[in-house]
Amino acid sequence: MSGPSVVFEAIAKQLVKFLSCQVNSRNIRFIPLDNGVGTCLLAAECCHRDILNPTGVIVASAQKTFYIETFGCQMNFHDSEKVVGTLISEGYAQVQREEEADLIVYNTCSIRDKAEQKVFHRLADYKKLQAQGKRFGVLGCVAQQEGEKIFERAPHVSMVCGSASYRNLPQMLVQLEASSAADTTAHPANTAQGGGAASFGNGLVRITGLDDRQTDKCFETEFTARTNPHRGYITIIEGCDKFCAYCVVPFTRGKERSRTSASVLAEARQMADLGYTDIQLLGQNVNSYRDPEGKKTFAELLAAVGEVQGIKRVRFTTSHPRDFGRDIVEAIDAVSTLCDHVHLPVQSGSTRLLDAMQRLYTREQYLERIAWMKSAKREISITTDVIVGFPGETETDFEQTLSLLDQIGYDGVFSFKYSARPNTPALRLDDAIPEEEKSRRLEVLMGRQKEIQVARYKKYIGTTCEVMVEGFNEPRRQWIGRTSQNKTLNFTACSEAAPKLGSYVQVRVTGSFPNSLLGEMMV
């Protein structure tokens, strides 16, 4: 090899190793490929707007632009990182406002009715932009749930892609562009001359990716635009086969399917090489993981990720109590990089209600899992999800949930009012709880949990915790840190010893609040 190609390869290698562009406070990182060159994932405002293909050849200058907004859970957030990577690899550049984009994409959540409504409000708010030739895409759970009905409800939408169909996005984008080009020719009034700064026409284009529940494919992509340069997600299992009576997820995310442990570990190593130190394994039921090659159990995979050179913290979410084995606690005991925090949604403290919810465990079985965690070598911080006002929930059932909170002493509870969802078995249940009563129960529960957290967080005053430095709060002049137990620990540090973002420092806890700790960095 000689001349420009040598120079180019050297530059590309440097890019892979060192370059991370600060784009409106989002760090877009370079994903190295097997050949050691790399893929440049950049946004519109970046100094360098060319997209490299896997062989390091410049294939396109970013011209088309997209805006993406994500609703919902961490799975959706991480899906969006992959969607962003895919769009950039297809020659799009990311912008931060709907008005600046050619393609406006919403990655949606339908877990509760409110989340679903938000998306339709957002679509209505920006409908006027269609006249400028902008295209709209709806991705994620609402897309899967509503399917082509979205086109009726929001006719300005051109693309609907369910969460089980993301791997088809590149082809869908090609179709969208082909139809846009044809449409622009067919509707000269909608071109830049007639309708504004449009690169797309606004005729009725309808592109769908709506694989059904039976798909066994995961959304594995080499193009992931991770937004944080130190902590990153890896999806290890998609979909859900549990069919809890209230939950729409099995209908929107398809059947349970796991990636091979080999591919998960390859991604973890790749991230470690890029400088990531904190990895969070994701799945709707992360601990229902089944290696398709049968090489590793979930606990073994967890331990193996924790042993990857350079990785300092490994988290996992969300766990299902039914599949929560003692081997997970044993792995946490054995591998110090596995964080001492487990999120284990209980939903209700009443066995009768757990049965109606089809949760597949009793209060006693749940408590047994908590007992395993409480006997761990390190104190494991436990958090949970609770639903109040499920159909037929009596005052006694609710009291049992409150007593469970007292008994367990959670460090955090995400509590929700039951929301009826399409297709779910709970729709057929009688004895709906009135909205005001749901609100009352939610308030009582949150009040009780706040008291518990006040007492629990106070216990840390006087102790020293290691935190990863995540940010700086300018108005408060405080650094923002996260402990291994996933607690926020805000702290001060003298200006000569200002810590680096992503570094790990020791902090002495001096104060506490219901949801966070306060401290001073040790020097």
Binding site for ligand 5AD (CB under 6 A): 111-112, 246-247, 345, 347, 385, 387, 416, 418-419, 421
CB of 360 to ligand SF4, least distance (A): 9
Q: Which of residues 85-144 bind ligand SF4 (CB under 6 A)?
A: none
Nearest CB to ligand SF4, comparing residues 112 and 487: 112
380 binds ligand SF4 (CB under 6 A): no
Hey, what are 42's tokens?
């950049």
Which residue's Cβ lies closest to ligand 5AD? Answer: 385
Contact assessment for residue 363 and residue 349, using Cβ atoms and an 8 Å cutoff:
yes
CA distance 492 to 499: 10
CB of 253 to ligand 5AD, least distance (A): 12
CB of 416 to ligand SF4, least distance (A): 11
| 251 contact, one of ligand SF4, ligand 5AD, none, CB 5-8 Å limit per kind | none
What Å distances lie between residue 10 and 17, 32, 37, 101, CA to CA? Answer: 11, 14, 9, 34
DSSP 359-392: -S--HHHHHHHHHHHHTSSSPPEEEEEEEE--TT
CA distance 491 to 509: 8
Nearest CB to ligand 5AD, comparing residues 80 and 401: 401
| 240 contact, one of ligand 5AD, ligand SF4, none, CB 5-8 Å limit per kind | ligand SF4
Hey, what are 175's tokens?
């179709």
CB of 239 to ligand SF4, least distance (A): 9
CA distance 236 to 262: 11
Nearest to 296, CA basis, from 334, 265, 339, 270: 265
CB of 243 to ligand SF4, least distance (A): 6
CB of 285 to ligand SF4, least distance (A): 5
Long-range pairs of 4-11 with CB within 8 A, sequence gap ≥ 24 = 8/56, 9/37, 9/56
Nearest CB to ligand 5AD, comparing residues 32 and 321: 321
| 250 contact, one of ligand SF4, ligand 5AD, none, CB 5-8 Å limit per kind | ligand SF4
| 421 contact, one of ligand 5AD, ligand SF4, none, CB 5-8 Å limit per kind | ligand 5AD
Residue 136 burial class via C-beta count within 10 angstroms: exposed 0-12, middle 13-18, buried 19 and up: buried
Nearest CB to ligand SF4, comparing residues 26 and 322: 322
Q: Is residue 213 helix, strand or coil?
A: coil
**Ramachandran angles phi, psi of 155, nearest 5°:** -60, -15
Q: Which of residues 224-253 bind ligand SF4 (CB under 6 A)?
A: 240, 242-244, 247, 249-250
Contact assessment for residue 286 and residue 316, using Cβ atoms and an 8 Å cutoff:
yes
| 243 contact, one of ligand 5AD, ligand SF4, none, CB 5-8 Å limit per kind | ligand SF4
What Å distances lie between residue 150 and 103, 112, 123, 339, CA to CA? Answer: 17, 17, 10, 41
Interface mask (CB under 6 A) for ligand SF4, residues 432-471, using x and -? Answer: ----------------------------------------
Return the residue of 179, 280, 285, 297 that touches ligand SF4, per CB under 6 A.
285
Contact assessment for residue 40 and residue 51, using Cβ atoms and an 8 Å cutoff:
yes
The residues binding ligand SF4 (CB under 6 A) are: 240, 242-244, 247, 249-250, 284-285, 320
